[in-house]
């Protein structure tokens, strides 16, 4: 008996960001797989793959935009259905990882929700997980199976080089982003500054910009972060830089969460441009003139192709992911 070792690559999309999934599939030279996802009268989800997945290398693309918890459950059910249908390997492609800011305990009697997400994905049937610019790199350690950490930094660096030139100051909006800002400054060969900020751990989405460390007077500054949620950190940091004499301030971040007052805060801030990627969809009502959206579609497609071909994912990023 001869064994047919030909492998099939199948790419599916959850309901959170179909546009990005279609772009990824196009870069891979194929169409998205057909899957029926609908809800019963009581709101429960039903998933049915409309083609055989037996022996296939299946990738489920699902970012975690609002409603976050519903999209998490949809992801888990999609993974479970693939595993029970005998897919050879199941990879969850999560451009924005859910609950990534809850990676440790800040106070007693708190959960570590990012670890719970890892356990749920594994139980549901994921053999591998792929995500972009985790809020904390140590989340990878929550997984007992392969995790591919992708980064949008090549996109953001190329934008800075082409649009802003080399005479800029890369700025961390708080102490937690100093490492990220340092990597950007080394890639671009430019100066580094830090906005010192105090955050009350008992108050979520509340911060206070205090002082700027570094020479920014008369300089063009770029604030770098992994996400913009309510926009308070970035807006306050931009105001602090202008108060210290910065000539222009830009923001470059991966994930446009844009919750609550974020859009209005960014509009009212001294920021010239807010550069983000499409790891999360930006609905029309959250678009504004300052916002620039770059696509991570090619990066995700390259990573999927590398995993499918058993090639290096880190090689795509020169080992800097």
Residue 3 lies in a domain: no
Residues 15, 98 within the same domain: yes
Residue 16 within a domain: yes
* Pair (176, 283) in one structural domain: yes
What's residue 135's pLDDT? Answer: 93
Say whether pLDDT at 206 is over 70.
no
Both 103 and 215 in a single domain? no
Q: DSSP for 54-83?
A: TT-EEEEE----SSHHHHHHHHHHHHHHHH
Same domain, 133 and 173: no
pLDDT tens column, 134-189: 999 999 999 999 999 999 999 999 999 999 987 899 999 988 889 999 999 999 99
pLDDT higher at 167 or 249:
249
Instruction: Measure Cα distances from 167 to 20, 154, 185 in Å.
Output: 33, 18, 11
- Give CA–CA dist 82/130, Å, rounded: 17
Asked if residue 182 belongs to a domain, the reply is: yes
- The 10s digit of each residue's pLDDT in 103-130 is 999 899 999 999 999 999 999 999 999 9
In a shared domain, residues 176 and 263: yes
Contact 80, 37 (CB under 8 A): no
Domain that holds residue 201: 153-294
Q: State the residue for tokens 């100093």.
A: 178
Question: How confident is the model at residue 205, as a pLDDT?
Answer: 56
- 99 and 134 belong to one structural domain: yes
CATH number for the domain harbouring residue 178: 3.40.50.2020
pLDDT at 2 over 60: no
Are residues 157 and 113 part of one domain?
Answer: no
Same domain assignment for residues 240 and 308: no
- Same domain? 283 vs 172: yes
- Phi, psi at 250, each rounded to 5°: -125, 160
What would the two tokens of residue 274 be? 């807010």
* 275 located within any domain: yes
Residue 281 DSSP class:
-
167-181, 209-223, 255-269, range with greatest mean pLDDT: 255-269
Structural domains counted in the chain = 2
**Tokens linked to 187:** 């890639």
Q: Are residues 147 and 177 in the same domain?
A: no
Question: Of residues 210 and 99, which shows the higher confidence score?
Answer: 99
Q: Which DSSP symbol is given to 43?
A: S
pLDDT exceeding 70 applies to what percent of the chain?
Answer: 94
Annotated active-site positions, please?
197
Q: pTM of the full predicted structure?
A: 0.93
265/305 same-domain check: no
Among all chains, which residue has been given the structure tokens 């059910």? 77
Which has more confidence, 136 or 300? 300
pLDDT higher than threshold 70 for residue 199: no
Kindly report the number of other CB atoms within 10 A of residue 240's CB atom: 22
Among the residue ranges 89-93, 137-141, 315-319, the one predicted with the least confidence is: 315-319
What is the pLDDT at residue 165?
A: 86
pLDDT tens per residue, range 13-45: 999 999 999 999 999 999 999 999 999 999 999
Are 21 and 142 in a shared domain?
yes
For residue 237, give both structure tokens. 């940091």
Residues in the chain: 321
């Amino acid at each position: 008996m001869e064994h047919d070792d030909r492998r099939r690559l199948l790419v599916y999309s959850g309901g959170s960001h179909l546009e990005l999934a279609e772009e990824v599939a196009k870069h891979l030279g194929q169409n998205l797989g057909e899957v029926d996802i609908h809800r019963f009268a009581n709101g429960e989800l039903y998933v049915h793959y409309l083609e055989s997945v037996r022996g296939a290398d299946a990738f489920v693309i699902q970012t975690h935009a609002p409603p976050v918890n519903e999209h998490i459950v949809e992801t888990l059910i999609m993974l479970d259905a693939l595993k029970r249908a005998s897919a050879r390997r199941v990879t969850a492609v999560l451009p924005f990882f859910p609950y990534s800011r809850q990676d440790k305990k800040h106070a007693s009697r708190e959960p570590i929700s990012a670890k719970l997400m890892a356990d749920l994905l594994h139980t549901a049937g994921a053999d591998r997980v792929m995500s972009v610019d985790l809020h904390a790199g140590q989340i990878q350690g929550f997984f007992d199976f392969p995790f591919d950490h992708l980064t949008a930094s090549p996109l953001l660096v190329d934008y800075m080089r082409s649009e802003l030139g080399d005479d800029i100051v890369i700025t961390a909006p708080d102490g937690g982003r100093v490492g990220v800002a340092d990597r950007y400054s080394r890639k671009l060969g430019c100066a580094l500054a830090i906005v010192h900020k105090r955050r009350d751990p008992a108050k979520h989405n509340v911060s206070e910009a205090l002082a700027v460390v570094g020479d920014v007077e008369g300089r063009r500054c770029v604030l770098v972060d992994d996400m913009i949620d309510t926009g308070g950190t970035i807006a306050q940091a931009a105001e602090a830089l202008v108060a210290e004499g910065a000539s222009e301030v830009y923001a470059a971040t991966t994930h446009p969460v844009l919750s609550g007052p974020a859009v209005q805060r960014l509009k009212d801030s001294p920021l010239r441009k807010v550069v983000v990627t499409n790891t999360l969809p930006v609905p029309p009502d959250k678009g504004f003139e300052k916002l620039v959206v770059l696509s991570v579609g090619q990066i995700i497609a390259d990573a999927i192709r590398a995993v499918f071909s058993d090639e290096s994912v880190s090689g795509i990023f020169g080992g800097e992911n």
